[in-house]
A and B are shown apart, each in its own frame.
Chain A
Amino acid sequence: MMAAMASTEAAIEVRELRKSYGELEAVRGIEFSVSRGEIYGLLGPNGAGKTSTVEILEGYRERTSGHVSVLGFDPTDRPRELRARIGIVLQSSGIYNYATVAEAIAHFASFYPHPRDVDEVIGLTGLVEKRGDRARNLSGGQRRRLDLALALIGDPELIFLDEPTTGFDPAARHAAWQTIRSLRDLGKTVLLTTHYLDEAQELADRVAIIKGGRILAEGSPSELGVGAGSRYRVAYTDRDGAVSVVETDDPTSLLHELTGEALAQGERLRSLSVTRPSLEDVYLELTADA
């Protein structure tokens, strides 16, 4: 197993990465690193610089400046050995329309030095009933699973998933998430880009929130929710029936004050709740236009 090769070196290292398209600076000094076996999420609105960053790592684009290392390689030269060890699921990409699912997967298997078993990958991606169907006859969700199958067939150590569930219905999303979680069990490293918060929260070990070509916050989904500067929200219904919401960094003393006051007056604080901001709140706060 590749996972047993537990190298201490990070799967992905990005330092001071910049990418300009003419006047437009799409990526402005991004830094992060992804450990082996980790699912790392890049979360941000459209145009945040996610795809530029990922396509530099995949070898599709050249960076303007900065340091990038993918499995110890510089992806700029697209070394064949690196391409044999990564799997890429692009946002949208065609397949030979007249190839069946099994044929397409078997053909792609022939590109790699140590491919996985075709039937195993068909099973892993839930395409058993579709194995004899031509790609042109697949639904959108089934095509996406074939995308994933084609990325997995080479038994890659590192998998890039760019918006893997965009356009899925809820059932298909949950099925796809299950498959992505199974990649972790196989010891794979995954770099996931998404603009769905729930997807990042469900799947990623760590998340970087990107906007305007910069990383605004980074951490595990739960850490980001309670990270420095984020506040607790205390809500209750007062005696006039009005809902009060108070934000505080120090919920203990606020609660002491509120409850003390209520007790002294012989009242009850109805519907009292204390909530931490969710990843969604952090995300919306960080990515809101100033």
Chain B
Amino acid sequence: MPSNALALWRQYRFERRMFWRNRSAAFFNFLLPLIFLALFGAIVHGHQNELDVIVPGIAGMSVMSTTFTALAYNLTFMREQGILKRIRGTPLPSGVYLGGLALNAVTNTAIQIAIVVVAGRVFFNLGWPPQPLTLVVFVIAGVAAFALLGAALSHAIPSFESAPAVVNGVFVPVILISGVFFDVKHVPGFLRDIAQALPLEPLINGLTGGLVAGHGSIGHHLTALAVIGFWALVGVVLAVRGFSWEAHRA
């Protein structure tokens, strides 16, 4: 029996290869944050305070789309297609398989964050991240929370046909109220309270500290980190309790 570490590496490599095979999906996956950066960069051109909001906002959105959205879709698809059930019938340990899926998603997060950081340096006068530790800690926390919540959401999606509606029904309102495209200060009070209780606004809060100078070190963002940690715990419970390896058909 191959060791778990080797099996995990193989599964990860296989997932990566399959990811790149679906060229249009891979292309748009990386193009999307660039399109947003280009559009908003043009719209708020010359207003550095706006750029200081947009860049971490898009970094936060990238974390959410590469983990939450991607895993909710992929797990639903693989469950409906019977891929999960087939894998479950082999000696590959379930944890190794799911770990391979998660690492694949995390790799996309890392690539997108790198794109945003470079674009911030080259086009938006942000310089290199002033607080790299804050950036890394929040990306890791955000990835953990959103990946688990995405896995949990996939259990609530009844069929692959309904996946875009369900996933976007969560994703779009959350990015709108969480200050991806504008400073969350301009959001009405009750919406801001909701946003601050959800994981994306605290994530953007922490990423702002990591990416934009003068927003404090990690010690200034501990509340935000705690909110993300809370959602990661919620995600663990819901993802594990609801996990199903096969589609439920009437």
Closest CB in chain A relative to B162 CB, distance in Å: 18
Interface size on A, residues (CB 8 A): 28
Interface size on B, residues (CB 8 A): 24
Complex interface residues of chain A between 66 and 99 (CB less than 8 A to chain B):
80-81, 83-84, 86, 88, 90, 92-99
Q: Give the nearest-CB partner of A108 in chain B.
A: B90
The answer to whether the Cβ of B45 comes within 8 Å of any Cβ in the partner chain is no
B22 contacts A98, C-beta separation under 8 Å: yes
* Contact partners of A93 in chain B: CB under 8 A: 81-83, 85-86
The answer to whether the Cβ of A239 comes within 8 Å of any Cβ in the partner chain is no
Complex interface residues of chain A between 138 and 174 (CB less than 8 A to chain B):
150, 154
The answer to whether the Cβ of A111 comes within 8 Å of any Cβ in the partner chain is yes
The answer to whether the Cβ of B18 comes within 8 Å of any Cβ in the partner chain is yes
Chain B 1-37: CB-based contact to A (< 8 A → 1; otherwise 0): 1100001001000100110011000000000000000
A92 contacts B82, C-beta separation under 8 Å: yes
* Contact partners of A83 in chain B: CB under 8 A: 89-91
A96 to B21, CA, bound (A): 11
Using known A-B contacts A60-B246, A94-B78, determine if residue A107 contacts B7 with beta carbons closer than 8 Å.
no
The answer to whether the Cβ of B88 comes within 8 Å of any Cβ in the partner chain is yes
Q: Give the nearest-CB partner of B79 in chain A.
A: A94
Q: Give the nearest-CB partner of A95 in chain B.
A: B83
The answer to whether the Cβ of B166 comes within 8 Å of any Cβ in the partner chain is no
A98 to B23, CA, bound (A): 10
Complex interface residues of chain B between 55 and 87 (CB less than 8 A to chain A):
78, 80-83, 85-86
B82 contacts A88, C-beta separation under 8 Å: no
A112 to B2, CA, bound (A): 7
B18 contacts A94, C-beta separation under 8 Å: no
Using known A-B contacts A60-B246, A96-B18, determine if residue A80 contacts B1 with beta carbons closer than 8 Å.
yes
A154 contacts B90, C-beta separation under 8 Å: yes
Using known A-B contacts A83-B91, A84-B1, A92-B82, determine if residue A99 contacts B18 with beta carbons closer than 8 Å.
yes
Complex interface residues of chain A between 85 and 142 (CB less than 8 A to chain B):
86, 88, 90, 92-99, 103, 107-108, 110-113, 134
A107 contacts B93, C-beta separation under 8 Å: no
A263 to B36, CA, bound (A): 99
A98 to B19, CA, bound (A): 9
* Contact partners of B1 in chain A: CB under 8 A: 80, 84, 113
The answer to whether the Cβ of A38 comes within 8 Å of any Cβ in the partner chain is no
B91 contacts A80, C-beta separation under 8 Å: yes
The answer to whether the Cβ of A199 comes within 8 Å of any Cβ in the partner chain is no
* Contact partners of B88 in chain A: CB under 8 A: 60
Q: Give the nearest-CB partner of A92 in chain B.
A: B82
A90 to B245, CA, bound (A): 14
Closest CB in chain B relative to A240 CB, distance in Å: 56
A197 to B89, CA, bound (A): 27
Q: Give the nearest-CB partner of A104 in chain B.
A: B14
B2 contacts A110, C-beta separation under 8 Å: yes
* Contact partners of A97 in chain B: CB under 8 A: 22
Q: Which of B81, B92, B93 contacts A94 (CB 8 A)?
A: B81
A81 to B18, CA, bound (A): 28
A80 to B83, CA, bound (A): 18
* Contact partners of A84 in chain B: CB under 8 A: 1, 91
Closest CB in chain B relative to A162 CB, distance in Å: 11
A90 contacts B10, C-beta separation under 8 Å: no
Using known A-B contacts A60-B246, A110-B2, determine if residue A90 contacts B89 with beta carbons closer than 8 Å.
yes
Q: Which of B7, B22, B81, B83 contacts A111 (CB 8 A)?
A: B7
A110 contacts B85, C-beta separation under 8 Å: no
* Contact partners of A58 in chain B: CB under 8 A: 89
Closest CB in chain B relative to A106 CB, distance in Å: 10
* Contact partners of B246 in chain A: CB under 8 A: 60
Closest CB in chain A relative to B24 CB, distance in Å: 12
Closest CB in chain A relative to B19 CB, distance in Å: 9
Q: Which of A80, A90, A98 contacts B21 (CB 8 A)?
A: A98
By Cβ-Cβ distance, the 7 closest A-B pairs, closest first, are A94-B81, A93-B82, A98-B21, A88-B89, A84-B91, A83-B91, A93-B86
Binding site for B on A (CB under 8 A): 58-60, 80-81, 83-84, 86, 88, 90, 92-99, 103, 107-108, 110-113, 134, 150, 154
Beyond A92-B82, A93-B86, 6 extra complex contacts between A and B, CB < 8 Å: A95-B86, A96-B83, A97-B22, A98-B22, A99-B14, A111-B91
Instruction: Show 26 residue pairs from A and B whose CB-CB distance is below 8 angstroms, ordered by the A residue.
Output: A58-B89, A60-B245, A80-B1, A83-B89, A84-B1, A84-B91, A86-B89, A90-B82, A90-B85, A90-B86, A93-B85, A94-B81, A94-B83, A94-B86, A95-B83, A96-B14, A96-B83, A98-B22, A99-B21, A103-B17, A110-B10, A111-B91, A111-B92, A113-B1, A113-B2, A150-B86
